[in-house]
Homo-oligomer: A and B are copies of this chain.
């Protein structure tokens, strides 16, 4: 089969690889129908994620069809269309029992990290019962691809950890895909005002179309001052950091209201300075952490009910065989006005007629 393989910082190949095989009775083999690229994949390509070894197939998002299944899988069967969670969950360990699948003793984020991932024609999914979700027959399949990672991440790590509530004020620092996912899902809780801060006017325009009430371009570094001015010095109740840089953190610390929350959604590579000499008396809360994807069922219900249109985050449609081009588009998002790039399997698969039956 064809797969996108990582060969160290800046090196990748779209090449032939053996198809995956079942290795445990709780495994499933999924034929990929749609996949996409995550900002984390770009971090990997820069060589910043040391757990990813050379030779690894990347990707942790996708929808596909089950081709083979282990004897211990009870919730899915061959021929089922499934959504792949970016988080693998055994359902048995102490962390999974608490619903904190991101810290699963046997899983967590392993796809396209410590085991081969979804940017390929086939992928092996361990602990298939806890890691796959049934896609209904009438589903908007493209929207479902956005539920593998980005929507649950925006919702769980941003909106729920930040405790967005009806009538509150909210600021999202960073209008990339995950910031936009937070923007979309924050509206489940009806904040009265949503500030969106970025450097890219296109993304800010998209933000406005998706429900932001105040868009602020921080090219002059005045965003924090602007938010404080527009809130009459009070600041905002919830701040979601969706960039992953020290300067993103600084904006958050400067605009959070007394009694407010900062939720870190960005993947950070450097330390930040926490000004406890000012903040100790502010009754603020700060949170950071992995997605568990425990909200996938709720998000599926919202999509089915027509209350969420994640496909709005898709800016480009490409074939799976255009994988290298897809990385180029997503890696230069600003010049391509790119949000999420959706790839659909366009490869004629020989010798699989028996499976397709």
> Contacts A25-B25, A71-B25, A259-B100 hold; do A280 and B307 have CB atoms under 8 A apart?
no
The reply to whether A294 and B97 contact each other, CB–CB distance below 8 Å, is yes
Bound-state Cα–Cα, A62 to B342, Å: 53
Q: Which residues of chain B have C-beta atoms less than 8 A from A258's C-beta?
A: 95, 100, 103, 289
Number of copies: 4
The reply to whether B274 and A280 contact each other, CB–CB distance below 8 Å, is no
The reply to whether B281 and A289 contact each other, CB–CB distance below 8 Å, is yes
Q: Which residues of chain B have C-beta atoms less than 8 A from A353's C-beta?
A: none
The reply to whether the CB of A92 lies closer than 8 angstroms to some CB of chain B is yes
The reply to whether B280 and A271 contact each other, CB–CB distance below 8 Å, is no
A9 to chain B, nearest CB (A): 17
Mark A147-159 against chain B: 1 for CB-CB distance below 8 A, else 0.
Answer: 0000000000000
The reply to whether the CB of A2 lies closer than 8 angstroms to some CB of chain B is no
The reply to whether the CB of A64 lies closer than 8 angstroms to some CB of chain B is no
The reply to whether A280 and B264 contact each other, CB–CB distance below 8 Å, is yes
A125 to chain B, nearest CB (A): 14
> Contacts A99-B97, A167-B299 hold; do A190 and B307 have CB atoms under 8 A apart?
yes
The reply to whether A286 and B283 contact each other, CB–CB distance below 8 Å, is no
Q: Which of A259-302 contact B (CB under 8 A)?
A: 259, 264, 266-277, 279-290, 294, 297-299, 301-302
- The 25 listed contacts between A and B (C-beta, < 8 Å) are A25-B71, A25-B72, A26-B72, A74-B92, A91-B91, A91-B97, A97-B294, A99-B99, A166-B189, A166-B302, A167-B302, A167-B305, A188-B190, A192-B307, A264-B280, A267-B281, A268-B279, A270-B276, A271-B276, A272-B276, A279-B288, A280-B288, A283-B288, A283-B290, A285-B287
Given A91-B92, A161-B285: 8 more A-B contacts, CB < 8 Å: A167-B305, A189-B189, A249-B274, A270-B277, A271-B275, A276-B288, A281-B289, A285-B286
